[in-house]
C-alpha cells in the first residue's frame, strides 16, 4: 500500500487545519503530536492553515501542549481559507517557510479545498503530505466517515428533537434546513434519526409534488405535526423557498422554517469523532513514516486506507440508495 520510494528520513513534521473547521480536529492534532513524539519526531503546529504557512507562523508542539483539548470544538490551531496559496508565489513562500524550519513532512487536516491545495503543492515541491479528512460534510471518497460529521448530525437531531417537543401539540409543518452544500449526508441521517416525514437532498430525484403527496398521506392518518429536513444544497432552493412553494400547493398546516446554521459546526465532538480523529491522526503520522505521500488517510470498513488526494476529491461519494429508500418507508 505504501509508495515507499527511496524515502528521506523524516525527523520534523508540521500539522495544520484548513478550510471550514470541524469538531474533532483538536483530537486529530493531539494524535499527530503524540504519535510524532512517540516516534521521536519534532512536531510543529502551523496556525491558520495555508495562511500561517505563508506567514511562517509555526509553533513547537510538545506532548503536554495537546493535553485537555480533545473535548473542545473548533481547532486550537485556528483555520482559514487562503487566496494567496492559490498563487504560485504564495506556495513558494510557504515552501520557503517550511524549509526554514527544516520540515520534512506535513499532515493536512481539512476537506476538499485543503486537499486540492495539498495536491498541487506536493506536485510542485518535494515534501510528502498526508491528509486527514476533517469536514462535517462527509463527502470525501476514501473514508466511511469524515471527522465532524457524526457531531454535526447529532447536533441537528437534537435541534429537531426540541422542535418536535414543542410542535407536537400544534397542527404544524416544519421545514428544517441543515448543512450540506453539495451533499445530502447530514440531511439524510438527520431525517432518519429524527423520524422526519421527508428529506430533500441533492442526490434524490423528487418533485415538490412528491413531497406534497407524502404530507397529504400524513394528514390523512391525522399526523398533527410533520418535519421535512432540507439540505442547504438542493434543486429547489433553501428551506424558506421550499416552504413557500409547498404552502401554495397544500395549505393545510401552519408552516414554519428553521435554519439550524452554524451551530452545526461547533460543540464538543462525539465519541465517534474523537476516536476517528485519533485513529486518523495516528495513522497519518505512521503512514508518513512509512513513505506515504500525496494521500489521505481514511477509515474504510474499519481499516485504515490511504487514498491519493486526486481520487479523494474527485470521486463522487453519495449516500446509499438503500438508505434513501428506507427513509421513505420508515416515514410512513
**Considering only residues 241-260, where is the footprint of its own copies by CB under 8 A?**
256, 258-259
How far apart (Å, rounded) are the C-alpha atoms in residues 153 and 185?
9
**Region 109-138 residues binding its own copies, contact defined as CB under 8 A:** none
221 is in an annotated binding site: yes
Q: How far is the CB of 201 from its own copies (least distance, A)?
A: 15
Instruction: Annotate each residue in 25-64 with x if it binds its own copies (CB under 8 A) or - if it does not, as one string.
Output: -----xx--xx-xx---------x--------------xx
Nearest CA to 18 out of 84, 156, 113 is that of 113
Q: Which of 68, 83, 87, 207 binds its own copies (CB under 8 A)?
A: 68
42 is in an annotated binding site: no
How far apart (Å, rounded) are the C-alpha atoms in residues 185 and 319?
6
**Region 133-162 residues binding its own copies, contact defined as CB under 8 A:** 144, 150, 153-155, 157, 159, 161-162
**Region 189-248 residues binding its own copies, contact defined as CB under 8 A:** 189-190, 192-195, 221-223
201 is in an annotated binding site: no
- Can you point out the beta strands (E) in 168-270? 172-178, 198-200, 225-231, 254-259
Q: Which of 9, 126, 165, 205 binds its own copies (CB under 8 A)?
A: 165
β partners of residue 42: 12
Q: List b or e across 21-50, with b for residues whose CB sees 16 or more CB atoms inside 10 angstroms.
A: bbbbbbbbbbbbbbbbbeeebbbbbbbbbb
Q: How far is the CB of 110 from its own copies (least distance, A)?
A: 12
Which is closer to its own copies, CB of 96 or CB of 240?
240
At what angle are helices 25-38 and 271-289 packed, to 10 degrees? Answer: 40
The dihedral over CA atoms of 246, 249, 250, 251, expressed in degrees to the nearest 10, equals: 90
164 is in an annotated binding site: yes
Contact status: 307 vs its own copies (CB under 8 A): no
**Region 3-32 residues binding its own copies, contact defined as CB under 8 A:** 21, 23, 30-31
Q: How far is the CB of 99 from its own copies (least distance, A)?
A: 26
The dihedral over CA atoms of 188, 189, 195, 197, expressed in degrees to the nearest 10, equals: 0
170 contacts 218 by C-beta, under 8 angstroms: no
At what angle are helices 239-249 and 208-220 packed, to 10 degrees? Answer: 60
Judged by CB under 8 A, how many residues of this single chain contact its own copies? Answer: 77
Kindly name the residue from 21, 137, 139, 150 that is annotated as catalytic: 137
Listed in sequence order, the residues at least 6 apart from 217 whose beta carbon sits closer than 8 Å to its beta carbon are: 332
Which is closer to its own copies, CB of 73 or CB of 294?
73
Q: How far is the CB of 239 from its own copies (least distance, A)?
A: 11
Q: How far is the CB of 111 from its own copies (least distance, A)?
A: 14
231 contacts 222 by C-beta, under 8 angstroms: no
Instruction: Judge whether 254 counts as a catalytic residue.
Output: no
At residue 330, the 3 state secondary structure works out as: helix
Contact range with its own copies by CB under 8 A, out of 53-61, 86-94, 116-124, 188-196? 188-196
One DSSP character per residue, 104-141 reads -EEEEEESHHHHHHHHHHHHHS---EEEEEB-TT---T
Q: How far is the CB of 168 from its own copies (least distance, A)?
A: 6
Q: Which of 83, 87, 166, 314 binds its own copies (CB under 8 A)?
A: 166
How far apart (Å, rounded) are the C-alpha atoms in residues 137 and 143?
12
Show binding-site residues for substrate: 135-137, 172, 179-181, 232, 256, 262-265
Active site positions, annotated: 137
Amino acid at each position: 500500500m505504501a509508495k515507499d520510494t527511496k524515502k528521506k528520513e523524516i525527523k520534523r513534521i508540521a500539522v495544520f487545519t484548513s478550510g471550514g473547521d470541524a469538531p474533532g480536529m483538536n483530537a486529530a492534532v493531539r494524535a499527530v503530536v503524540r504519535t510524532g513524539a512517540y516516534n521521536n519526531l519534532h512536531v510543529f503546529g502551523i496556525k491558520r492553515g495555508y495562511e500561517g504557512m505563508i506567514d511562517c507562523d509555526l509553533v513547537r508542539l510538545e506532548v503536554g501542549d495537546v493535553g485537555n483539548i480533545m473535548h473542545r470544538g473548533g481547532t486550537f490551531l485556528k483555520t482559514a481559507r487562503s487566496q494567496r496559496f492559490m498563487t504560485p508565489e504564495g506556495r513558494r513562500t510557504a515552501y520557503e517557510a517550511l524549509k526554514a524550519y527544516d520540515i520534512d513532512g506535513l499532515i493536512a487536516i481539512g476537506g476538499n479545498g485543503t486537499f486540492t491545495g495539498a495536491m498541487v503543492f506536493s506536485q510542485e515541491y518535494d515534501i510528502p503530505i498526508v491528509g486527514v479528512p476533517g469536514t462535517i460534510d462527509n463527502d470525501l471518497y476514501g473514508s466511511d466517515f469524515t471527522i465532524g460529521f457524526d457531531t454535526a448530525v447529532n447536533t441537528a437531531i437534537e435541534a429537531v428533537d426540541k422542535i418536535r417537543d414543542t410542535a407536537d401539540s400544534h397542527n404544524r409543518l416544519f421545514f428544517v434546513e441543515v448543512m450540506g452544500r453539495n451533499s445530502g449526508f447530514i440531511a439524510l441521517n438527520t431525517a432518519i434519526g429524527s423520524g422526519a416525514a421527508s428529506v430533500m437532498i441533492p442526490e434524490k430525484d423528487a418533485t415538490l409534488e412528491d413531497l406534497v403527496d407524502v404530507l397529504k398521506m400524513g394528514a390523512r392518518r391525522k399526523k398533527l405535526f410533520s418535519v421535512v429536513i432540507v439540505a442547504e444544497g438542493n434543486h429547489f432552493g433553501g428551506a424558506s423557498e421550499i416552504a413557500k412553494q409547498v404552502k401554495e400547493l397544500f395549505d393545510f398546516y401552519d408552516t414554519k422554517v428553521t435554519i439550524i446554521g452554524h451551530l452545526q459546526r461547533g460543540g464538543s465532538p462525539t465519541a465517534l469523532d474523537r476516536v476517528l480523529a485519533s485513529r486518523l491522526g495516528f495513522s497519518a503520522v505512521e503512514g508518513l513514516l512509512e513513505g506515504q505521500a500525496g494521500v489521505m488517510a481514511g477509515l474504510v470498513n474499519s481499516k485504515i486506507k490511504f487514498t491519493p488526494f486526486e481520487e479523494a476529491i474527485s470521486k463522487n461519494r453519495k449516500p446509499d440508495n438503500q438508505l434513501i429508500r428506507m427513509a421513505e418507508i420508515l416515514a410512513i
